[in-house]
Structure 1
Amino acid sequence: MRFYRDKVSFGRHQTFSVRYGWLSKGFQALKRNPSILKSEEAIAELGVGKNMVESISYWLRAFQLIEPNSSKPTELGNKIFSTNKGFDPYLEDEATIWLLHWLLVSNPEQATAWYWFFNRYHKPEFTGLELVTALNDFVTDQVKDVRRPAMSTLKSDATLIPRMYTQSKLHKHMPIEEALDSPLAQLRLITVMAGERGFQSKPAPRPGLPTGILGYAITEIFRDRETDVIPIEDLMYSRDVFPAPGAVFRMTEMDLITKLENLTEYLPGVYQINETAGMHQLFQMRKVEPMEYVESHYASFERGEVA
């Protein structure tokens, strides 16, 4: 979760954005055969080309579904995508996509450009060229010299970010693979501007973001910061080496505060909002595991309740 200038990665996706079915299919194939993604069998097993197999392997790590340096499933990967008792193995609940978004952009070591865009880049309207330039400036300023990638690699990442979060427009000569949207496009965190002059990524109310998923993100931040109080402003804007949910989910300040108020009631006795010296802060009254919020959400989802 924490950004380190010497622990970064760029351009490992083989230019392919993540697609529907890739995460669940890849994860479940690994559960059956832990070495599948390193074998020739993966092409037939997953029904994709060699470069796509490498891309799937990368995205499984970027979304924190398998361990960074192995093919071992993470606890959360098992909880979500296991076919036996997984909460949502086939991405039927939009909450899973919100959760995946958080897992990706709070993972600067594996998905540095995505962490940068949603936490450090706050321009509401931009062109593809502006995005490449801004990412290059960030890398020049913040990334250790020996870890800096080529400009072509940065351009590949900067091009892929809006492609993953916007809905495709079908063109006559477009290959079918390119017309398949990433599941993240559902969240509408990036949209194409009128006349296709560029892109927008503006703060807005996010009614589709479940309290349980926000609770998971907030609790991860408290855990990794090793604190029991965080100013709400720090949860809104990422100004240091940690991600901020307000920025990650492109929320307005009012929407964040409303959702934090809901969060204090979601699991009673965990969080409380107080004002100290004119500053609103979120206090953690008792420690919980982030997974408790995920489990609570999916329990209510199975009962047909709105969480």
Structure 2
Amino acid sequence: MIFNPDKMAFGRHETFALRYGWLSKGFQAMEEKKGIFESDDATVRLGVGKNMVIAIKYWLRACQMIDPVENIPTDLGGELLSIDGFDPYLEDEATIWLLHWLLATNAELATSWFWFFNRFHKPEFTGQELGTALTDFVNDKVVNKKKPAAATLSNDASLIPRMYTQSTGNGRTPIEDALDSPFSLLKLVTQSAGGRSYQSRPMARPDLPIGILGYAVCGMFDMRKTRSIPIEDFMYSKDNYPAIGSVFRLTESDLVTKLEKLVDYIPGIFDIRDTAGQHQLFLSESTDAMTFIVEHYNNRSKDIAA
């Protein structure tokens, strides 16, 4: 989750945005047959072309549902997407929020997504501006290794807004390309009425469940190996760490409100204190991040979004 300029990846998706059904279909096929993505019958089993097979495997890895080294299900992937998991067909919007966090914090396998949600803060932009900014970021960070091709970065830059905006129903767009990615539900990126620009602004996100926020907060404590984090560091990405406020495009006031609700969500784990004039979130009792996932899915009526 920590950005390392020596470990970056671009263009592994074969230019295909993540589509509905791909994670569930790919994960469950992998559970049924180990090595399905490398097998001769992968296209038949998954019902897609060869390049799409590669893309499905990539998105499973980028969303941290399968281990990128061992190519086996992660524990979280099994809990979520197994046929008897919490949400095998992505019917709970909380799962989409969780997958977004896992993708946007995967600096090693989804570097462009990490950059966009943690480093790119322009509230309104064109596709060309996004591509230029990503190229500038890569040119600045990639010093001692071969830089990705311009076309590769262009594909990444065009895919990000395509995955997060809802289709306009343009009749010239092929049906397959017009199918919205599940991430479009989150409305983290919107398109202008004329289609010439995009917006990605901080705002209150009432649909973000507290259980998912709790999982993300635990992840930040785990990364930093500390018992306290300034509230400001949850808002803005610093020192190559991701930031919850940036990834979920939250306003400062909404982030604070959500953290206050998190303190009461599972009492005794977190506490907000004012130390030396600085508001900080303290980890009062160490806990597994999965505690918050289990709490959400087992008590969905309780986990009212803040």
TM-score range, shorter chain: over 0.9
Deviations 1:199-252 (A, max 9, x none): 000000000000000000000110111000000000000022110000000000
SS at match of 1:169: coil
1:56 partnered with 2:53: no
Any conservation in 1 of the 2:211–2:303 contact (CA below 8 Å)?
no
Alignment identity in percent?
58
Name the amino acid aligned to 1:251: L
Aligned letter for 2:147? Answer: R
Residue 284 (structure 2) aligns with? 285
Q: After TM superposition, give the deviation of residue 278 of structure 1 in Å.
A: 1.6
Moved over 3 A (4+): 304-307
Distance in structure 1 (CA, Å) of the matches to 2:182 and 2:288 = 27
Mapped partners of 1:181, 1:54: distance in 2: 19
Cα-to-partner distance string for 1:24-55 (whole Å, 9 max, x where unaligned): 00000000001111112111111110000000
Change in Cα spacing, 1:77 to 1:144, as seen in structure 2 (3 Å) is: farther
Q: Give the secondary-structure state (helix, strand or coil) at the position aligned to 1:206.
A: coil
So what's the TM-score if we normalise by structure 1? 0.97
How big is the shift at 1:144? 3.9
Matching of residue 166 in structure 1 with residue 165 in structure 2: yes
In structure 2, what residue type is equivalent to 1:43? T
- The aligned amino acid for 2:291 is E
CA root-mean-square deviation: 0.9
Q: Which amino acid in the other structure matches residue 51 of structure 2?
A: N
Residue type of the partner of 1:259?
K
* 8 A Cα contact 2:219 2:289, kept in partner: yes
What is the CA-CA distance between 1:147 and the residue it aligns to?
4.4
Q: CA deviation at 1:265?
A: 0.6
1:78 corresponds to which residue? 78
Q: Is the 8 A contact 1:65 1:76 kept in 2?
A: yes
Q: Distance in 1 between matches of 2:95 and 2:31?
A: 20
1:250 aligns to what? Answer: 249
Contact preservation (8 Å) 2:24, 2:89 = yes
For 2:259 and 2:216, how far apart are their aligned partners in 1? 12
- 1:305 matched to 2:306: no
CA distance in 1, matches of 2:20, 2:240: 31
The residue that corresponds to 1:220 in the other structure is: 219
Q: Which moved more, 1:137-146 or 1:86-95?
A: 137-146
- The aligned residue for residue 105 of structure 1 is 104
Q: Does 1:33 align with 2:33?
A: yes
Corresponding residue of 1:141: 140
Q: Is the Cα contact below 8 Å between 1:300 and 1:306 reproduced in 2? A: yes
Equivalent-residue separation in structure 1 for 2:27 and 2:215 (angstroms): 21
Instruction: Give CA deviations for 1:114-161 in whole Å, capped at 9, x if unaligned.
Output: 000000000000001110111011111123431421111100000000
Determine the C-alpha separation between the residues in 2 that align with 1:188 and 1:209: 11
Task: Give the whole-Å Cα distance in 1 for the aligned partners of 2:47 and 2:152.
Answer: 27
State the Cα deviation string for residues 63-99 of structure 1 (Å, max 9, x = none). 0000012320000000000002x00001110000000
Q: Does the residue aligned with 2:183 lie in a helix, a strand or coil?
A: helix
Equivalent residue letter for 1:93: D
Whether 1:47 aligns to 2:47 is yes
Question: Which residue is equivalent to 1:126?
Answer: 125
Counterpart residue type for residue 60 of structure 1: L
8 Å contact kept, 1:6–1:147: no
Q: What is the aligned partner in structure 1 of residue 192 from structure 2? A: 193
Contact 1:95 1:210 in 2 (8 A): yes
TM-score, normalised relative to structure 2: 0.97
What is the total number of aligned residue pairs between the two structures?
304
Which residue in the other structure is 1:68 paired with? 68
> What is the CA–CA distance in structure 2 between the aligned matches of 1:26 and 1:160, rounded to whole Å?
21
**SS state at 1:54 partner:** helix
Aligned to 2:11: 11
Query: What is the alpha-carbon distance in structure 2 between the residues aligned to residue 306 and residue 268 of structure 1?
Result: 14
Structure 1 range deviating more: 192-201 or 112-121: 192-201
State the alpha-carbon separation in 2 of the partners of residues 68 and 25 from structure 1. Answer: 18
What is the rounded CA distance, in whole Å, between the counterparts of 1:70 and 1:153 in structure 2? 26
Can you list the C-alpha shifts for 1:6-38, whole angstroms capped at 9, x where unaligned? 000000000000000000000000000011111
Q: Which residue of 2 aligns with 1:235?
A: 234
Gaps of 5+ in 1: none
In structure 1, distance between residues paired with 2:152 and 2:200: 23
